[in-house]
Structure 1
Amino acid sequence: MPETHTHPVHVRPAVLADDAVLGDLDRATWSTLHAVTPRPQPPYEPFFDERHRPESILVAEAGEGGPRPAGYLRLVPPTPLACNTHVRQIQGLAVAEWARGRGVARTLLRAAFAAARADGANRMTLRVLGHNAPARALYESEGFVVEGVLPGEFFLHGRYVDDVMMGRSLTP
């Protein structure tokens, strides 16, 4: 289990009671590096809704003075089609500022690989903005490869940004 300095990172499934803390974490980590939607403004929507259920979220906990949510990863089937059930897609990954650089994202990714395999998946995909070099480097270091690029797919903050599709096998 990776450690944040001397404190281990533990990953668990989300529960409904995580709604407020994950919503706060999501808003605190909003960044032009990964967001294609505007910065959230009050009144805030709940973190969980019909499309974003606790069972699709893994929560990383770490920290001094007892574990607290350090990050989350949303892992879902990319479509409702039976012919696509062997694939899982990462549709969100966030790490609290205080926990960055301590292996939290890598721990979440590896927990997602294990959860997807346990659920019968043999492939994982994700989408990342082309200018998000730190995320792309992390994903590549964990076996993801670029499988496609939609050039200039988004117009963000006065410039066109590529949408990069990445994927990897989950079989040994």
Structure 2
Amino acid sequence: MIVPEIRIREARAADEPALAELDRTTWSPLHAVTPPPEPGRPFYDERHRPEHFLVAELGGAVVGYVRVVPPTRLACNAHVRQIQGLAVDAAARGRGVARALLRAAADRARADGATRLTLRVLGHNAPARSLYESEGFRVEGVLRGEFLLDGAYVDDILMGRPLTD
């Protein structure tokens, strides 16, 4: 049996239907603080443009994405990039797609001149936290009880990693 290779590339406008569907099907209270995306809602908008995303393909199908952007518009913060979204189709999980997306995000951030990569993850999302730690991210802050989700207070974990050796 031949296992298709993961291909990471920049998102294109034509990816919007596949990314919108992926966003809807992967939504979970394990990682989302916003309500589920509504069917028919555009994936791209003025704050979420194709150039902000890298997509993962397996066998030519879009199976994941990561959004990598500057965390602010401040010049004093221009050396940082932040992951603000990572999703992998359930059928593609366990194949290294999320890890490949994280590595590509770090490469993209370096190419943009960044020296740090940061992200936020919900405290109860142990699988994601473990993956991030295995890719060099460390906890840099905890906002205790920051979100009230399904009747429970959930921590917001701030993680970061250097992009230099």
Give the one of 4, 8, 13 matched to 2:5.
8
Aligned pairs, number: 164
| Percent of residue pairs identical | 68
Partner of 1:149: 142
2: CA distance, partners of 1:82 / 1:165: 21
Q: Does 2:108 match 1:115?
A: yes
TM-score, normalized by length of structure 1?
0.93
Q: Does 2:117 match 1:124?
A: yes
2: CA distance, partners of 1:26 / 1:76: 18
Partner of 1:59: 55
SS of the equivalent of 2:83 reads strand
2: CA distance, partners of 1:115 / 1:18: 19
Task: Compute the displacement of 1:39 (Å).
Answer: 1.7
1: CA distance, partners of 2:72 / 2:38: 29
The AA in structure 2 aligned to 1:12 is R
Give the one of 46, 50, 67 matched to 1:50.
46
SS of the equivalent of 1:61 reads strand
TM-score, normalized by length of structure 2?
0.97
Q: Does 2:96 match 1:103?
A: yes
Partner of 2:164: 171
The AA in structure 2 aligned to 1:95 is V
Query: What runs of 5+ residues in structure 2 fail to find an aligned partner?
Result: none
Query: What runs of 5+ residues in structure 1 fail to find an aligned partner?
Result: none
The AA in structure 1 aligned to 2:124 is H
SS of the equivalent of 1:7 reads coil
* RMSD (Å) for aligned C-alpha atoms: 0.9
Task: Compute the displacement of 1:67 (Å).
Answer: 1.5
Q: Displaced runs of 4+ in structure 1, greater than 4 A? A: none
Task: Compute the displacement of 1:6 (Å).
Answer: 1.5
Task: Compute the displacement of 1:127 (Å).
Answer: 0.2
Partner of 1:79: 72
Give the one of 69, 85, 88 matched to 2:81.
88
Partner of 1:19: 16
Q: Deviations over 1:109-154 (max 9, x none)?
A: 0011111101100100000000000000000000000000000000
